Amino acid sequence: MSLGGLFLIAFCLGGITPNSVRAQDQKADTTIDEARLTAYAKAFAAIALARDSAHAAFALPRNKTNEVQRDLRDKLHKEIDQILKAQGITAEQYTHITYVIATDENRRKSFEEILARLTAKPDTR
């Protein structure tokens, strides 16, 4: 899957919501330094893995009760909070950076380059 596709999936799965997009100032600060963008990319990749794992758990037949589904959602939210905290990013900052990346082509390209470096698999030949 391409990085753009991964970003689109995260966008659709709640990395950013329509309300948060509307809440963003049209003249939002789009300057994000390399260190902050790298922390965001690390969080983004870790959150994508956490969501993949959670969605697999949601799909298991034994997890189809409302109580288990709620517990799995709570666990995912806590895991995302821990990921963000580990990268020194608040949920609001994450949403803002997601907005900037979605609306600023240069920042999006920088993000995709950083994400590609972070998620590249080592050559095992």
pLDDT tens digits, 33-60 = 999 999 999 999 999 999 999 999 999 9
| Confidence check: pLDDT of 6 > 60 | no
Cα–Cα distance measured from residue 47 to residue 30, given in angstroms and rounded to the nearest whole number: 22
pLDDT interval class at 27 (50, 70, 90): low
pLDDT interval class at 109 (50, 70, 90): very high
Mean pLDDT within 86-94: 98
pLDDT interval class at 31 (50, 70, 90): confident
User: Is the whole model's pTM more than 0.85, yes or no?
Assistant: no
| Confidence check: pLDDT of 24 > 50 | no
pLDDT interval class at 121 (50, 70, 90): confident
Query: Are 24 and 100 contacting, i.e. CB atoms less than 8 angstroms apart?
Result: no
| Confidence check: pLDDT of 2 > 60 | no
Which string of DSSP letters, residue by residue, matches 13-70? IIIS-HHHHHHS-TT------HHHHHHHHHHHHHHHHHHHHHHHHHHSGGG-SHHHHH
